Structure 1
């Protein structure tokens, strides 16, 4: 049995993890839906945002890598659309558990950040890496973000996840173009002590591009990408240094979010509805 066939069998009967109006969130139920998620990623990352596809990706119009076969793929479904279930997929988020990362030789983010050192300092905690987040333009709303977090929270409850981590991105490959928000993260939101993580030396780019006293918090927050802003609201901290990814045309930062650090009001907000999907 291939990895993709094993994934199909493992996810054959996956329940809904959250619902808001006609939108629902659940895991992909087979290889066909994983392929649909990869197609949406291609549309957003390559056709819209200007990432550079490899020749096979360009030919198939799918964003795919070796991690897809060992990840769970969170999907946003618009049940009001006509067509097949696959044609109703409007967003996706990739979830990699610590156990599956070990089978794959490590987390995806380890290519950019010293994530293995962080995991080694917390042997009793279960880590989950979140990545490849994208939503089709018509669905980029607060409601869709809330639904994704509802699904992530239910998933974490099901699998007893202790720490969420992963890369989040600013558009473009010039960190100086995001000097104020990057500096805000560096001066006010950097993970410290046992949660400290650094970008790999060969790829390290400084984030503290402005002095602390020159930062206007209001304008810095307004300039944050929505995903990073959402992580901040939940109580996330960030790694030391950013990494330029020329293939995806992004500037990446590392998010560290222990479940215990999530604000009680957000647990109440997301958890109350998600709780019934977590069993």
Structure 2
């Protein structure tokens, strides 16, 4: 998931701290401390080109981000999952903003799963002070309440929050956007430039920063994310999906079973293969094929990788250890023409299975 590259001459110094290429051509807008989100105009244009929503199951819906604040909510979810729940190490800027963000956020489209279930409004931090007697301030409750703009009577919450909650997210980077900006994020770990060059004329889409809130990690949320991705692929005539997928942990020997399983049973054919960059490559062939317990290996794989494999994805050559995120990354390559027809039928050839 991480990318570490030597700074280019003249690149903004703050961008050097990101796990990405440098922000060449990044739009300059007001923000904190500078805005790592797409412009409102870009987000609206992307969302207007797609159905609204892209899919719905009960109170959950999937759609593209339409406002910079939508992207910031996705960044906050990523921060909660990657840095607070898992073992990623946040830098000072991310800790201050409490958002996982990098320069790529400004040039990507952002797929969101939203929960529209009404939620009770939280009680205000400052309640009316009537009935409280503080030492030295006896009888002053009403005065303090008025000073803070509160009624003297205790606060009573009213109604429910109507703002939907972002519970899942994906980051989508089309090849034309990557070419205009600073390439694919994945190229910082794997030699995908050669892969793209071998397939000139095909359109590539990078999938990244997949993230789901813990309480929502179930079949419904995953189905909605894939419904959204499939609708996006159809709308933009994408031919190949690529991206990094992560196994938790930085010790390849402890991941020998799942890594060896991926190497022996799901390695990309030469036509679709790409290798981890020299100097970052970690061998995945850590166990002989005949020694692999298939059931145990599948159980050791993260649900996201198993989902990719069910669709028909290939795995690149070699893994990359990402110490900042505490993961071992593998390359996913998924040609659209080779996706399991069962899933094409399931989600609909026109991506309309769950669209409202």
Aligned residues: 277
- Indicate if the aligned counterparts of 1:154 and 1:271 stay in contact, CA closer than 8 A: no
Residue in structure 2 matched with residue 21 of structure 1 by the alignment: 58
Which of residues 9, 25, 44 is equivalent to 2:41?
A: 9
Residue in structure 2 matched with residue 234 of structure 1 by the alignment: 311
Which of residues 224, 230, 236 is equivalent to 1:147?
A: 224
Larger Rg: 2
Give TM-score, length-normalised by structure 2: 0.75
Residue 2 (structure 1) shift: 3.8
Which of residues 77, 86, 107 is equivalent to 2:114?
A: 77
Residue in structure 2 matched with residue 130 of structure 1 by the alignment: 207
Provide structure 2 residue ranges, at least 5 long, that are not aligned to the other structure: 1-26, 30-34, 120-160
Residues 115-126 of structure 1: pairs in structure 2 closer than 5 A: 115-126=192-203
- Indicate if the aligned counterparts of 2:82 and 2:88 stay in contact, CA closer than 8 A: yes
Residue in structure 1 matched with residue 85 of structure 2 by the alignment: 48
Q: Distance in 2 between matches of 1:199 and 1:91?
A: 28
Which of residues 30, 35, 39 is equivalent to 2:76?
A: 39
Return structure 1 stretches of 4+ with deviation > 2 angstroms: 1-7, 10-15, 81-85, 271-278
- Indicate if the aligned counterparts of 1:16 and 1:277 stay in contact, CA closer than 8 A: no
Q: Distance in 2 between matches of 1:245 and 1:256?
A: 19
Give the match's secondary structure for 2:208: strand
Q: What CA RMSD, in Å, does the superposition of the two structures yield over aligned residues? A: 1.7
Residue 6 (structure 1) shift: 5.8
Residue 214 (structure 1) shift: 0.4
Give the match's secondary structure for 1:29: coil
- Indicate if the aligned counterparts of 1:77 and 1:88 stay in contact, CA closer than 8 A: yes
Give the match's secondary structure for 2:39: helix
Which of residues 251, 256, 261 is equivalent to 1:184?
A: 261
Residue 274 (structure 1) shift: 2.9
Residue in structure 2 matched with residue 91 of structure 1 by the alignment: 168
1:249 paired with 2:326, answer yes
Q: Distance in 2 between matches of 1:276 and 1:134?
A: 23
Change (3 A) 1:12 1:53: same
- Indicate if the aligned counterparts of 2:234 and 2:350 stay in contact, CA closer than 8 A: no
Change (3 A) 1:277 1:218: closer
Q: Distance in 2 between matches of 1:103 and 1:143?
A: 35
- Indicate if the aligned counterparts of 1:18 and 1:274 stay in contact, CA closer than 8 A: no
- Indicate if the aligned counterparts of 2:203 and 2:238 stay in contact, CA closer than 8 A: yes
Residue 103 (structure 1) shift: 1.6
Structure (1/2) with the larger helix percentage: 1
1:114 paired with 2:201, answer no
Q: Distance in 2 between matches of 1:261 and 1:81?
A: 41
Q: Distance in 2 between matches of 1:222 and 1:10?
A: 41
Which of residues 234, 250, 270 is equivalent to 1:173?
A: 250
Q: Distance in 2 between matches of 1:177 and 1:271?
A: 39
